[in-house]
Amino acid sequence: DDLTPITRALDIEHRHVRDLIDRLRAKEMEFEERNPGAAIAEMADRLAVQWNVEIVVGKTPAAIRVGGELAFELKQIIREAIANAVRHGHAKEIVIGIQAGIRNLRITVEDDGIGFAGPHPLAMPRTIGERVEGLNGLSMVRSQPGATMIQFTIPLERARD
């Protein structure tokens, strides 16, 4: 059946949305600390099925913890980067790297798509840029046919708020 993968992906997303609503009602998201890599890997598994794309998430040291609100924002940024890579770049493989330094959390999303086109091919997608800026972070993009990389860095002081 052509609809089986779509139905499965919708079921997974439906459960995810219900869980999010329940957690918001219980106000768990404000206080829960998580390893960002674990949160991102869980989401990446769902998105790989939804978009029929291979997504590889690099390992993150278990000691790195961020609040639930920041983990949510990071996932939203990455979710949009993945959707853009597949929808607009026709990517088949996406690699997510997560690194923590003394002062910063750096996340890189790389894909094998066709790259950015248009009059401003190196412009950061607006909503990604706005979200990163809202976290007091910096972002950059590099793109060429066959390789696009979006990288953003969030200060760990902000990450612990």
CB 115 within 8 A of CB 146: yes
pTM: predicted TM-score of the whole model, two decimal places:
0.78
Q: Edge-to-edge strand order for the sheet containing 54-57?
A: 54-57, 93-100, 104-111, 147-155, 138-144
pLDDT of residue 19: 75
> How far is the C-alpha of 8 from the C-alpha of 30, rounded, in Å?
30
Show the beta-strand stretches assigned E in the chain: 33-34, 54-57, 66-67, 93-100, 104-111, 138-144, 147-155
Residue 32, pLDDT above cutoff 80: no
pLDDT tens digit string along 103-153? Answer: 889 999 999 999 876 555 567 888 899 999 999 999 999 988 899 999 999
Residues written for the chain:
161
